[in-house]
Amino acid sequence: MHHTLQLKVLDARFGGEWPLPAYATEASAGLDLRAALDAPLVLEPGDTALVPSGISIHIADPALCAVILPRSGLGHKHGIVLGNGTGLIDADYQGPLMISVWNRGREPFTMQPGDRIAQLVLLPVVRATLQVVDEFETSARGTGGFGHTGVQ
Ligand SMILES: O=c1ccn([C@H]2C[C@H](O)[C@@H](COP(=O)(O)OP(=O)(O)OP(=O)(O)O)O2)c(=O)[nH]1
Ligand SMILES: [Mg+2]
């Protein structure tokens, strides 16, 4: 699926010093987001910081959203993940895209201005109309969950 996404450049270093967010390969799902920092940022173990991405987007279509996800290399090797688990960007949000970074690792991590620190993925959204009922039609699973079907 393809969508034309409106983007505002909030940091003049984009287009000059830094390329605009881009897909790393033809079939990459995520657009890499950069840390629009003025100076290196040292994240001590356990610390979180809200880092500007230097851009804003307007998805507009309520059948879409975007999520901010960790980059796997940073998350696995350096413990740099997101302070909010996953960032959810609403289709009507027009403010600056912010990245909550969390050092869940055991070593301090230094982030340089312009580093690609997370990724943005556009996703389809199904919005629900709630229908309140007294009983559900019985399903194979019923109310079983949280390991109910075993491990093997
Ligand atoms: O990692 C994130 C998560 C959210 N947002 C922006 C876009 C999103 O549309 C808005 C609100 O996010 P969310 O609904 O998750 O946060 P909230 O705490 O419920 O805030 P609000 O009361 O504004 O909805 O904040 C970001 O820039 N980065
Ligand atoms: Mg909200």
How confident is the model over 12-34, as pLDDT tens digits?
999 899 999 989 899 999 999 99
In a domain, 141, yes or no: no
Residue 36 zone, left/alpha/beta (φ > 0; ψ -120 to 50; rest)? beta
Q: Is residue 137 in some structural domain?
A: no
| Residue 6, token pair as written in the block | 């409106």
- Tell me the average pLDDT of the chain: 97
Looking at the structure of the chain, the number of domains it has is 1
Q: Which residues pair with 12 in a beta bridge?
A: none
State the distance between the two ends of the chain, measured CA to CA, in whole angstroms: 36
Q: Which ligand is nearest to the Cα of residue 87, counting in written order?
A: 1
Is 130 domain-assigned? no
Question: Can you give the residue range of the structural domain that contains 101?
Answer: 6-124
Average pLDDT over residues 83-91: 98
Q: Is 92 close to ligand 1, i.e. is its CB under 6 Å away?
A: no
DSSP-assigned states of every residue in 84-122: TSSEEE-TT--SEEEEEEEE-SSS-EEEPTT-EEEEEEE
CATH code of 14's domain: 2.70.40.10
Name the residue among 119, 7, 122 with its Cα closest to residue 54.
7
Q: Which residue lies with its CA nearest to atom 8 of ligand 1?
A: 89
d(CA 91, CA 31): 17
Q: Is the CB of 68 under 6 A from ligand 1?
A: yes
Arithmetic mean of pLDDT, 87-116: 98
Tell whether 135 is covered by a domain. no
Q: What is the pLDDT of residues 39-83, one digit of tens each?
A: 999 999 999 999 999 999 999 999 999 999 999 999 999 999 999
Does the model's ipTM exceed the 0.85 cut? yes
